[in-house]
Structures are given as structure tokens and as C-alpha cells.
Amino acid sequence: MALDEIPARGYKESSYWIFSCTERSMTPRQHCLACLQQTPPSVFEAALWVSSEHDAHFARHAVISDMDQLQRQIDAALPVLPAPELAQPLLRQLNALGFQQYDWNPPKPDSALLHKVV
């Protein structure tokens, strides 16, 4: 199986971080717009492409790997409850991991770059 045929766990059938040869020639902005034109729109992926357009040292694969690790860590810590009842345990777990609300007013320019916020 080729890399561009491997589906990502928990995402649409076509993994958003593995691209075919034609997609590699697209600019980050074109990738961002393509993500938003999908049904349903892939807003998280589009935000990563915005970050890659504005930060030359941004490593999308590292952020995606970190997010997958965070998802596994949180999944393991959350109790088995119906989805509507998971909000409070999820917030508690994120707080325990050191995540907090962004309170700068007005927001700093970096707040538009997903990898600087998460």
C-alpha cells in the first residue's frame, strides 16, 4: 500500500497530512482553501496550512504527531461516558495537562498561528 493510500485514524478516508504528487506542488494557501472547500470543511487542517504559510520553520508533521499523541493521552484518561457528558472531564484533563485559556486582549498576532496557540 502506498503512503498516499493510508487513511488516518479518526479522520476522513484520505489522510490530510499525506498528499499525492499533484498536491505537493500546491502552495500552502491553495492547500488551506482546498481544506475549506471539502465537505465537511477541514478547519483544523486549514489552520495548519495558514501556520505553514506564515512561519517558515513550522513543521506540520510534528504538530500532527503531537496532536495524535495528545488525543491518545486524553482518550486513555477520560471516563467511559456518553459524548454529551464528556465536556467537563475533557476540560479537567486538559487543565491537568497545562492547557489554559488565552486571555490576551487584544489578541497577539501569534494567536492566529495554530501551532503557537496549542
Question: Using one digit for the tens of pLDDT, what is the confidence trace for 40-87?
Answer: 998 888 888 888 887 778 788 888 888 889 889 988 888 888 888 988
Mean pLDDT of 17-26: 54
DSSP string across 11-71: S-SS-TT---HHHHTS-HHHHHHHHHHSSS--HHHHHHHHHHHH-TT--HHHHHHHHHHHH
Mean pLDDT of 11-23: 43
Q: Which single residue is written with the C-alpha cell 500546491? A: 26
User: Measured in whole angstroms, how far is the alpha carbon of residue 55 from the centre of its chain?
Assistant: 16
Q: How far apart are CA 93 and CA 82, in angstroms?
A: 17
The set of residues, in sequence order, having a beta carbon less than 8 Å from that of 70 and lying 6+ positions away, is: 97
Output the pLDDT for position 13. Answer: 40
Output the pLDDT for position 66. Answer: 85
For residue 15, pLDDT over 70 is answered with: no
Output the pLDDT for position 7. Answer: 42
Average pLDDT, the chain: 74
Output the pLDDT for position 4. Answer: 39
Residue 64 backbone dihedrals phi, psi, to 5 degrees: -65, -40
pLDDT band (50, 70, 90) for residue 37:
very high
